Amino acid sequence: MSVVTIARQGEIATVTVDNPPVNALGLALRQGLWDAVATLDADPAVRAVVLICAGRTFIAGADVTEFGKPPVAPHLPDLVARIESAEKPWIAAIHGSALGGGFEVALGCRFRVALPEASVGLPEVTLGIIPGAGGTVRTPRLCGVATAVDMATTGKPMRAPKALAAGLIDAVIEGDLLTGAVEFARAAIAQPLPLPVSQRGIEAPEAGFWAEAEASVAKSAKGAAAPARALAAIRKAAEAPFDEAMGFERTTFLELRGTEQAAALRAVFFAERAAPRPAALRDVAPLPLKTVAVIGGGTMGAGIIAALRDAGLPVILIERDDEAVARGLANVAKVFDGGVKRGKLSEAQARALKDGVTGTTDYAALPDVDMVIEAVFEEIGVKRAVFAQLGVVCRADAVLATNTSYLDPRAIAEGLPNPSRFIGLHFFSPANVMKLLEIVPTPQTSARTLATGFALGRLLKKIPVRSGICEGFIGNRILKRYRAAAEGLVRKGVPIARIDAAMRGHGLAMGPFEAQDLGGLDIAYLQREGARAAGQDVPETLGDILVRAGRKGQKTGGGWYDYAAGERKPLISDQVAQLLAAEIAPPSAMTEPEIAQALVAEMAAEGQAILDEGIAASPADIDLVKIHGYGFPRWRGGPMFATRVRE
């Protein structure tokens, strides 16, 4: 079947695009639309054309799978120009998302109408490129440079009502999109037509606008190259004639498409889409999830409850005593009240979210729940006692999950009747924000239980990654190696602050020592002490020396750095220098890029060991873990991607 079909409703023709899954602009679609312009221009009975899409969305952009291949005509900029110069006005009727090349096609149309929940956007920077078919040149002609800069440099989509107010679309259609668009077309051809977008002018921004925008984009891009290039393209559009700006945009687009950053971001794009649906589970039906219980309403429990409520699931919270129930519910309320303060939620929405949580100490509330997620203290005895009760009260098919960070899930599940329903679901803090969900089956876990873990991941809009069992699973195990390697560099005489600066320079939000000061050094210290007490040979770390001197991080006024009272700015510490003096070699000349390369290589080496042991299924899974759980810069593709490219 053709991806483009034409129908006529009197003097209005409809062109329907049907190219699943997301109507991406592959060659067949570009050619189909190209031919449709010719067909309809040649039809004297047609006075206007409605462009509408079948399936879940309007055209979602260029076909990203074509990016590695040489471009084939008709090229997208030519197609957009052809639609724009058609003899009959085209009206884009948008549902779902009109993104990238899809929005550029809509910009070639004389009018754009959209359903209220539809959105438009230029997400190209998230793929390491900029728009390549007029997005940076036509968008500012409709909404002005400030809005265009925001859209093209952040890649964030805009909902229809806001797009209407900004001038990017001409009407929001309530009810049936096709009916509304055809009505809109009839009314439009009864009036004089507006100019095609390319022929409209751009108002010059206020003095100082570009310098300010450049500074702000440089800051927020954190090393990603595309946002600054998108800004430059919009500036060109504002300062040069249309054709020159189009040429500038296309050259930049083609150049960026071949960069390592673009390749990395494309790899992440496809890995993120593959992760929630592992091939091995394709034919396994998950248990439908209608109600979930969470045991423990502390830091993690409250965040997990917030994530479940955001996905619309009613939740039962079980705590140790009435006081802890109240504290747990207050922890959850704090999350939603924060949403109200930031303008993300209305009071009524926050109330409804809170009302969906029932707090109790009584396990008798659990016989009907489909899943239980345990987030109590990280102590094997406490966790086992919880699962012993769950094993008695829960339905035999209910999935029972632990959020343990370091304990062995097999040990937690020992003695549980029907252990095939048991699984590790390792969330990251704050659990309602962080995208990563490590899914840790035991040898007894059934395929259905595993599939339910992934289904939960999809429901919560997380990036679920399967991990085998080892200390720290995938993410914390690599973190441990990374931190140890960073300490190793300190011992070799590399200044602490230079190591942190090197990793920030690499694109991480924080270096390894700043991050430890924020989270606290004592948790890892206690863990090491526990292992030592259990007879394991755990060598003394530099962190141990600091904790023993009372330096546990920001909360004690100092860790690897000093902090002024109430301040978060790390200050180089003389006391740390003295405490560690005996352990540290004379100053090293290692540069920041050398430091970053060495530490990423350590992460990659641990990643390779994890792969060799079968703990992770693929290098891409490891990269997703580091990007979505540990702030590794997305545009570098992850520690494994970086190594693959260098090889």
- Interface residues toward ligand 3HC, by CB under 6 A: 21-22, 24, 56-57, 60-65, 76, 97, 99-101, 104, 123-124, 127, 131-133, 135, 270, 273
CB of 647 to ligand 3HC, least distance (A): 26
- Out of ligand 3HC, ligand NAI, none, what residue 65 binds, judged by CB under 5 to 8 A for its kind, is ligand 3HC
Q: How many Å is the Cα radius of gyration of the chain? A: 28
- Out of ligand 3HC, ligand NAI, none, what residue 166 binds, judged by CB under 5 to 8 A for its kind, is none
| C-beta of 322 vs 567, nearer to ligand NAI | 322
Contact 261, 163 (CB under 8 A): no
Rounded to an integer, what is the distance from CA 378 to the centroid of its chain?
28
| C-beta of 382 vs 393, nearer to ligand NAI | 382
- Spell out the SS3 assignment of 156-199: CCEEHHHHHHHCCCCEECCCCHHHHHHHHHHHHHCCCCCCCHHH
CB of 442 to ligand 3HC, least distance (A): 28
| C-beta of 65 vs 199, nearer to ligand 3HC | 65
CB of 155 to ligand 3HC, least distance (A): 8
- Out of ligand 3HC, ligand NAI, none, what residue 100 binds, judged by CB under 5 to 8 A for its kind, is ligand 3HC
Q: CB 275: neighbour CB atoms within 10 A?
A: 25
Q: How far apart are CA 221 and CA 214, in angstroms?
A: 10
Half-sphere exposure of 599 (CA within 13 A, CB side): 32
CB of 95 to ligand 3HC, least distance (A): 11
Indicate which residue of 11, 66, 87, 124 is catalytic: 124
CB of 473 to ligand 3HC, least distance (A): 25
Indicate which residue of 66, 87, 104, 374 is catalytic: 104
Q: How far apart are CA 147 and CA 166, in angstroms?
A: 8
- For 123, 400, 424, 459, 476, the CA distances from 413, given in Å and listed in that order, are 44, 9, 10, 25, 21
Q: How far apart are CA 172 and CA 153, in angstroms?
A: 25
Q: Would you call 104 a catalytic residue per the annotation?
A: yes
Helix (H, G, I), strand (E, B) or coil at 14: strand
Q: How far apart are CA 465 and CA 622, in angstroms?
A: 8
| C-beta of 253 vs 427, nearer to ligand NAI | 427
- Out of ligand NAI, ligand 3HC, none, what residue 440 binds, judged by CB under 5 to 8 A for its kind, is none
| C-beta of 270 vs 377, nearer to ligand NAI | 377
| C-beta of 329 vs 465, nearer to ligand 3HC | 465
Q: How many helical (H) and strand (E) elements, i.e. helices and strands, does the chain have?
A: 26, 17
CB of 257 to ligand NAI, least distance (A): 38
List CB contacts of 163: < 8 A, sequence separation 6 or more. Answer: 114, 119, 120, 169
Q: How far apart are CA 432 and CA 575, in angstroms?
A: 38
Could you give the residue ranges of the DSSP H alpha helices within 468-557?
A: 473-491, 496-505, 512-519, 522-533, 542-548
Contact 228, 218 (CB under 8 A): yes
- Out of ligand 3HC, ligand NAI, none, what residue 382 binds, judged by CB under 5 to 8 A for its kind, is ligand NAI
- Out of ligand 3HC, ligand NAI, none, what residue 377 binds, judged by CB under 5 to 8 A for its kind, is ligand NAI
Judged by the rule CB under 6 A, the positions of this chain that interact with ligand NAI are: 295-301, 318-320, 324, 328, 375-378, 382, 386, 403-405, 426-429
- Out of ligand NAI, ligand 3HC, none, what residue 21 binds, judged by CB under 5 to 8 A for its kind, is ligand 3HC
| C-beta of 184 vs 482, nearer to ligand NAI | 482
Q: Would you call 183 a catalytic residue per the annotation?
A: no
| C-beta of 129 vs 332, nearer to ligand 3HC | 129
CB of 193 to ligand NAI, least distance (A): 58
- Out of ligand NAI, ligand 3HC, none, what residue 296 binds, judged by CB under 5 to 8 A for its kind, is ligand NAI
Strand order in the sheet with 97-99: 97-99, 119-121, 158-159
Q: How far apart are CA 78 and CA 423, in angstroms?
A: 53
CB of 317 to ligand NAI, least distance (A): 9
Residue positions annotated with a catalytic role: 104, 124
